[in-house]
Structure formats: C-alpha cells, structure tokens
Amino acid sequence: MDHILLSHGSGGKNSRKLLKFIYDSLGDIVINRGEDSGIAILQTDKLAITTDSYVIDPIFFPGGDIGKLSVCGTLNDLAMVGAIPKYLTLCFIIEENFPFNNLRKILYSIKEEAESAGIKIIAGDTKIVSKGKLDKIFINTTGYGIIEHSQEINSHNAQPGDAVIVTGDIGDHGAAIMAVRNDFESDLTSDCASVVPLIRKLLAENINIHTLRDPTRGGLASILNEIAISSSIDIELEKVKIPIKDSVNGICDILGIDPLYMACEGRAAIICPESEVGDILNILKETNDGKNACKIGNIVDKSKEPRVYLKTFIGARRILPLLSREQTPRIC
Amino acid sequence: MKNKFKDNSQLIQLLQQVDKLLTLSPFADRQCNFMEICGTHTVSILKYGFRNYFKKRINFLSGPGCPVCVTSQKDIDKVISLAQMGVRIATFGDLIKVPGSKSSLEEQMALGKEVNVVYNPLDCLKIADETDEEVVFIAVGFETTIPVIASLILDAKKLRIENLSILPLMKTIPTALNFLLTNLENEIDGFICPGHVSVIIGERPYKIIPEKYGIPCVIAGFEPVDIGLAIESLVSQIRKHTPIVDNRYKRVVKEKGNISARRLIEEVFEKTDVEWRGFGEVPASGLKLREKFSKFDAEKKFNINVKSSPEPEGCICGEVIAGKKQPVECPLFAKKCTPDTPIGPCMVSYEGACSAFYKYGEE
C-alpha cells in the first residue's frame, strides 16, 4: 500500500496501521500513546499555549517542508513570550491518495525538529478526507511551554527609545516559496528554523527584552505595525540597515512584491532598551542562526496614531503601512 | 548582484546638488510642478521617498498613465455586462476589483461567472482552444501592451480560432498628452515620460512638448537612480531655459523606438475616438480593430447594451488622473475608499496613484 486510503480514517484496521506508521516514524518523541488524553507534568504556575495550522503550498520546499514548519512555527510562537517549549500536539488532515512516502518524510522532519528542541508529542489526531476536499495535507500543532523568567515580554511593552533588532535576513521563506511556485531557478532557501535556542540564550544572560515577534505571514512590516498599534508608539526603520539578500530583492523586484512584507519562518524581531543592543548582538552573532542579526531602527515616540516609518536610502521618510491586500496565498 | 541603478551612493550626492539648485533662481520662491505620466513612476517616486525628499520644492503630479485607471466607468460596465451574458472573460488581474456602477468582476466571479486572470494576452489562445465557450479578452493597455494584443489577433486569425474576441479599450499616450496640454489648468514645469511606453514609441512623439509648449521632458526608468537623473534633467533644463526631450533611459529606449512593434499595431488597429476617465472623449486617442479583423471585436459580436453612468459619488479619480488633484485631497481617500474597499480605479491598480499613496504615502 503506497497511498493513504479513506479507510485509513475509518477507525478500523487500516486506521491502526496508519497510527502504527506514524508512531514508528516518530519514535520515542511520542508519549502517552493510544490514550484518549495525554497527561502533562509541569511544575510551573506560568504556562504558555499557542496553536497554529499549516497549509503551505508546496509542502516540500527548499530549506524545509510542512512538517518542519509545523513544529518550528509553533515553537517560535512560544519563544515570542519567552517560554521554554515542553509539549506539542500534532493533528493531520490528509487527502485521500496521499503517498505514504511523503508522509514518512514529513514525520521524519517533525521528529528531527522535536528532538532538537527537546519536546514531546503529547496528543494527536488524524483525519482523512476524500480526494479534492483539501490540498494534500494540512497540519495543526498546539505548543505548550513554561515561562521561567519574570519579564513582561509582549506587544504592548515597546517603549520610546527602544531599539528594534532582527535576528537575521528578512524575507527568505516567502521568496523561496514564490520562486518555487513561479518555476524560477534560484538558490533561495527558506529560513525555516526554531528561534527557541536564540531566545533562551538571551534570557539566560538576563537580557532585558520588551517585545518579541516572529515576522511570519505579512512579514516584518506587518508585525511592526501590529506592535506599534499595541504599544501606541511610532517606529522608525532605516532601509539600508535591514538585512535582505540580493537574491530575495531580485525575486521581489520581478514579482512586484516588497520583501518587507515577505514571510520569515526562522527570524525574530526583538524590541529592547537601547542599552541592551550591544550585548544582544554579541550573543546572537556567536550563533549560526543569529550571525546576521542587526539593529534596524528605533521606537521614536508615543503616538495616538501609531505608525511605522521607513527611512529610504536617499534619507527621506515614508510610511511603511499595514497592507490590506497583500496576496500571499498559503505561504505558511 | 548589485543593481547600480537601485543602490548607488552617488545618487545621494546628485540629489544634494539638485536640492541646492532648487534654492536658487528661478526656483527660490516657488514649487515646481512635475508630472509623471506613468503609474509605475508614481510608485517609485513614493516608494523610494523622492516625494518626501523634495517636499515643498517639487510637487509631483500623477498623470494618465495607469491603463486601468483611465478606463471609463461605461467601459467597466461593458466588461461586467459581458460577464453577465455568460461569456468567459480573460483579463489582467487589476481589473477584477474595479467597481462598475452596479457590480464588479469580483462580484460576478462570486456569482459563478467565469473569469480567467492572464499575465500575457497570448494565454487567451490556450484558454479559447480548451473551451467551446466564447472567450473575450479585455484589451486595456497602452503602447507597451498593444503589440502583444495585435499578435493575439493575428495568431487567432491564423489558427482560425472562432470563439475568441477582444473588447478594445486600448489607448495611446501621445494623443492623451496633447489633449492634456491643450486643456491645462495647472502649470506643469516638466514631464517625466513613461519608460516602457517609450520603448515602443521612441523619443519623437514627445518632441512637440518642448517645441510647442516649452516644457522640458525626460524619458526615465523606474529605479531610484533613474528617478534621480530624471529630476536632475528637468531641473537643469529649467535653469538653462533649454527644454528638450532628454532620454535618460537609453539602456532600453531607442530614439526611434521599436519599429516592428509599431508595424504590428498598425497592421491590426486603427485610430478611433475613445472616452478616458477624467478627460471625457479624446479624438483619435484610442485604437479599434481594422475592418478585416472585425470578427474579433466583442463589441460587434455581442449585443452590449450599456448606458453612460456617472463616476462614483465623491470619487475624484478623474481629477487625479488629469493631475488636477492629489489622492489625499479626495474625501473618500483612506476612509471609505481603501484597497480592500475601492471606490475608484486609482485605488485598485498597483500603478494607481491612490493605491500608491495609500501604500507608500508620507506623513
């Protein structure tokens, strides 16, 4: 049997076979197998929970696949409140006739990411739908993490005078996906990765952080606008300081898209007091995923009409707005 | 690879020089009005911050260079009427959201009407080949796009495709410019002439502007350095009182343009009077199919019955296109009219002035 059949979702023999296939592929990262509920053991009074569904097209892309994305994406959301991830739930909705080989590849990616993050799969589900009712495979993951630090890290906490730092190049994921979709030959790869190790390092060094966000759908411009609105502040970025690969700029030029609105899947924007910038950059630059980290701007002022401004390379200022009609079909 | 037209430190020096010139005579006590005809120039000028950089010294006015924006309300209604008749519409994506007087293509799609978005008019050959339905390509565009539309007609004829036609809404830039110049209300100190259109028509059609009206012209590309050079050219021409058509986009625009592309246009189309949003009817400023290709004319093939209808209440797209007003002067701008809920076409198209102001506007 090479392909998923509807009967794999029937609850009968084939369902058990599919479940065994998943357990075998994931190995010992799955706990509480076969029970109706997983039981988490946590010694904390502060728990972070986040959930996300992954519907990306294509499911395999340079630098990752939907499996890796479904783990990293959720872990990154936990990291954005400074949580240490502990457990993940894993739900698949699969289109009839989906190849087992592809499922295995996806499961191996999930295993690899979960192992390197030291987390366990605590619960899960599979559903099979008839051909044409969805596109190949959708994954939902819910992440649970514990918060050990005592900082207030949230979107409402950005303050005038703070610096804005990004942990690496902007727009790689979105550009890589667009390249594949448009049949462009390119060496672009997605930045899909967990930023948990970077953030844990910063917190371990007692760095004072005000806000963390990962620039996924909508890109850097969108999340900074959201932070500006939540914190009632104006942000000013310097275009020349934002790290963007020439190849990403190239593909964005061809497609008429602004890289600042392109999704990243392995980056974080850090908003912190200016006095922390030096230490943060020193710590990040020692890591492989953070070696291109840099400061790209500042929070300039409190504002009743919060805005993000971009200083262009000729030294003029323009608004970097929240886009309302960005077409980024199923990029994450 | 670094793009020297995008990322060039010499540009900043150039702009500083221009800025200095603008404090001297004859600019010292007034603002210059420069009109960029092409919508893509409007986008570049805003996106790279030129508008903000020269604030108070140069007033950039958008011109009639966005093909979707200049399409009249009546013509949009014709498109929607065709969709309602049940023919399969093939169109550039920008047109889908443009509101007609009662509906839009987007709404017709939601109601189940067939609308195919194409990037290249020639894609229509394949669409028509794969269906028995009538396929109508909505032929909007200027000289840049018209040669490809001409090729579509020639190929359809050669391949004997019977179920394909076009709704001819094409317009030509030089005629519109002449019309604009004879009806000017504002003083225009310089024109930034379109880059892509000029690839086809060359430098000659603009010559009348400096020669008859004494207004400097520059043909420009779309990268920051191109825009910087264009502004520098216009400012120097004004200073020296030597208005010419300065081609600063020589890497793609040749003096005579693209002769074979113009022959294609000539073979398939002939001049006709058309209605522009913002201008009304402009004599000989559009193109219709020559008699021998008339079976490809959707207007003749289908009984399109559409009455003239007024532009949406409060919308000033017409005045924006004619360079009379800025998008921010519109009472609907960014309030009732946004890219999500566009009321006029200038808020829909990527090249539309209102959409560019919404996206890249300064403080």
Q: What is the pLDDT of residues A53-96, one digit of tens each?
A: 999 999 999 999 999 999 999 999 999 999 999 999 999 999 99
What's the gap in Å between the CA of A2 and the closest CA on chain B? 33
| pLDDT value at residue B60 | 94
Confidence of residue A328 (pLDDT cuts 50, 70, 90): low
Q: What is the value of pTM for the model shown?
A: 0.85
| pLDDT value at residue B2 | 62
Top pLDDT among A5 and B187 is at A5
- Nearest CB to B340 within list A256, A311, A324: A324
Q: What percent of chain B has pLDDT over 90?
A: 77
Mean of the pLDDT values across residues B5-19? 87
The region that residue B278 occupies, defined by phi over 0 for left and psi between -120 and 50 for alpha, beta otherwise, is left
Query: Residue A153 in contact with residue A211, Cβ under 8 Å?
Result: yes
- Nearest CB to A319 within list B3, B338, B360: B360
Query: Residue B61 in contact with residue B328, Cβ under 8 Å?
Result: no
| Cβ pair B7:A313 closer than 8 A | yes
Chain B, residues 9-48, CB within 8 A of chain A, namely 11-12, 15, 46-48
In the block, residue with structure tokens 């006029």:
B344
Task: Give the closest residue to A72 by CA, choosing from A95, A59, A88.
Answer: A88
Q: At what angle do helices A66-79 and A100-117 cross, to 10 degrees?
A: 30
Mean of the pLDDT values across residues A31-48? 88
Provide the residue count of chain B. Answer: 363
Range in A155-164, A237-246, A310-319, B146-155 the model is least confident about: A310-319
| pLDDT value at residue A327 | 55
Question: How much is the mean pLDDT over chain B?
Answer: 92
d(CA A299, CA B362): 18
Query: In this structure, what DSSP letter does residue B194 have?
Result: -
pLDDT at A255 over 90: no
| Cβ pair A317:B50 closer than 8 A | no
Query: Residue A277 in contact with residue A166, Cβ under 8 Å?
Result: no
| pLDDT value at residue A326 | 53
| pLDDT value at residue A324 | 63
| pLDDT value at residue B351 | 85
**Bond into A58 cis (ω within 30):** yes
- Nearest CB to B48 within list A314, A319, A325: A314
Q: Which residue of A has its CA nearest to B361?
A: A319
Contact list, B350 vs chain A (CB under 8 Å): 256
d(CA A22, CA A14): 12
Q: Amino acid identity of A156?
A: H
Q: For B122-157, what is each residue's pLDDT tens digit?
A: 999 999 999 999 999 999 999 999 999 999 999 999
| pLDDT value at residue B274 | 95
pLDDT at B183 over 70: yes
| pLDDT value at residue B185 | 67
| Structure ipTM | 0.77
| pLDDT value at residue A155 | 96
| pLDDT value at residue A164 | 98
What's the gap in Å between the CA of A6 and the closest CA on chain B? 30
Q: How far is CA B108 from CA A90, A263, B121, B130, B298, in A?
A: 40, 31, 21, 22, 19
pLDDT at A325 over 60: no
